[in-house]
Amino acid sequence: MNLYPLKFKPILKERLWGGEKLREVLGKDFTSAEIGESWEISGVEGDVSTVANGPYEGKSLNDLISAHPEDLLGSDVVNRFGLAFPILIKFIDAKKDLSIQLHPDDELARKRHNSFGKTEMWYVMDADPGAELIIGFKNDLSREEFQKAMDSKSLTDYLHYEPVQSGDTYLINSGKIHAIGAGILLAEIQQSSDVTYRVYDFDRRDSQGNLRELHTDLAVDAMDFKKKDDFRIQYSRALNRESPMVSCEYFKTSYLDLDSETTMEFEDQHSFTVLICVQGNAQLVMGSWNVPVEKGETVLIPASAKKLVLKTSQSSFLKVSL
């Protein structure tokens, strides 16, 4: 059976900092008051996505990769990652501040956790007035200065706070200390990893009254203590054509702002493509397949695709490939 544009069932995650925007803004179906994440496409062990549309409905992403490795992932991806889906696509709703945290690089993650590291990209979809991200330090720190800040509970005095609005885009390299602030809804594209080192959690307690575990000792060895202004991504929004955003060794992203039918050609395609709808709606036509997509939905276009027609009068997408 030929592959087609694939949708997956969202994997919804309860978080003590979660809220209602995933339902109210993106149309996710849940009743809990604390859903913080919707994993859109995941190959993470224990959280593997399941197809939600077409003849493969109910099949896992891993089953499809096993049956159609190069047709689905692309030859370059298979050569590099084998049968592992190499990225994780999420939506995150931070009703409250997330913990201050960081992620290890590939070498450290492989050594400690038999996992990929985690470099990630954020695209802000909605932000309350005054909402901020924490990204990196105000100035270079030494390990000793960092430890003193932790001991005196003054770490937040040393962090860089970044005001945000809808459309802002950031690349968070492994090792960079960061946190998503309250009032922010964003799309996240990241390496396929769930390894997080929590450094500070504002002394919050979970529903059982317990402080959440910190991983400061692990984090220190992974942390970049240098001040770096390398995180904000500048990009244009040219109508009806791709506008490049991020190009790193783990993924490439671009922005599509459309107001009419647009054709995407995939000649000699060596990678799958992911389309994340961040505004409006469209029909994705691939051969005899016609797949509707709306804001808050994510679609995996197989590497075997030669052409995709996006029929729309107004929509915006993040395009992701390797």
Secondary structure (DSSP) of 277-302: EEEEEEEEEETTEEEEEETT-EEEEP
Any idea which residue has 């409905």 for tokens? Answer: 57
* Residue 248 shares a structural domain with residue 214: no
* Distance separating alpha carbons of residues 316 and 307, to the nearest angstrom: 19
Answer yes or no: is 231 within a domain.
no
Mean pLDDT across the chain, nearest whole number?
96
Share of the chain above pLDDT 90, in %: 93
pLDDT tens sequence across 204-255: 887 788 888 899 999 999 999 999 999 999 999 999 999 999 999 999 999 9
Whether residue 143 sits in one domain with residue 86: yes
pLDDT at position 209: 84
Task: List pLDDT tens digits, range 250-279.
Answer: 999 999 999 999 999 997 779 999 999 999
322 close to 76: Cβ distance less than 8 angstroms: yes
3-class secondary-structure state, position 267: coil
> For 164-175, what is the mean pLDDT?
98
Query: Considering the domain boundaries, does residue 235 fall inside one?
Result: no
Once rounded to an integer, what is the mean pLDDT over residues 147-153?
Answer: 95
Specify if 192 maps to a domain.
Answer: yes
The residue length of the chain stands at 322
Q: Are residues 270 and 314 in the same domain?
A: yes
User: If we measure between CA atoms, which residue out of 93, 126, 132, 135 comes closest to residue 279?
Assistant: 126
Same domain, 133 and 11: yes
- What's the token pair of residue 57? 């409905």
198 is catalytic: yes
- Shared domain for 147 and 250, answered yes or no, is no
What is the per-residue pLDDT for 1?
66
pLDDT recorded at residue 268: 73
| Contact indicator for 180, 133 with CB cutoff of 8 Å | yes
Whether 87 and 25 map to the same domain: the answer is: yes
Domain-located, residue 227 = no
In a domain, 230, yes or no: no
Q: Are residues 59 and 149 in the same domain?
A: yes
Tell me: do 79 and 200 sit in the same domain: yes
Domain count of the chain?
Answer: 2
Q: Which domain holds residue 178?
A: 6-222
Helix locations, the chain, DSSP H: 21-24, 61-67, 69-73, 75-81, 106-113, 143-151, 216-222
Domain boundary among the residues 222, 253, 269 is at 222
Tell whether 215 and 249 lie within a shared domain.
no
CB of 91 closer than 8 Å to CB of 15? no
- Do residues 180 and 186 touch, judged by C-beta distance below 8 A? yes
Decide if 1 is inside a domain.
Answer: no
Tell whether 159 and 254 lie within a shared domain: no
End-of-domain residue from the set 190, 222, 254 = 222
Over residues 86-128, the pLDDT tens digits come to 999 999 999 999 999 999 999 999 999 999 999 999 999 999 9
Residue at which a domain ends, from 222, 254, 274: 222
Do 21 and 100 fall within a single domain? yes
Determine which one of 15, 110, 112, 198 is catalytic: 198
Task: For residue 316, give the amino acid letter.
Answer: S
The closest alpha carbon to 188, from 94, 74, 303, belongs to: 94
- The pTM assigned to this predicted structure is 0.97
> In angstroms, what CA-CA distances link 179 with 46, 131, 188, 222, 227?
25, 12, 13, 16, 16
Instruction: Say whether both 252 and 307 belong to one domain.
Output: yes
The domain that holds 115 is classified in CATH as: 2.60.120.10
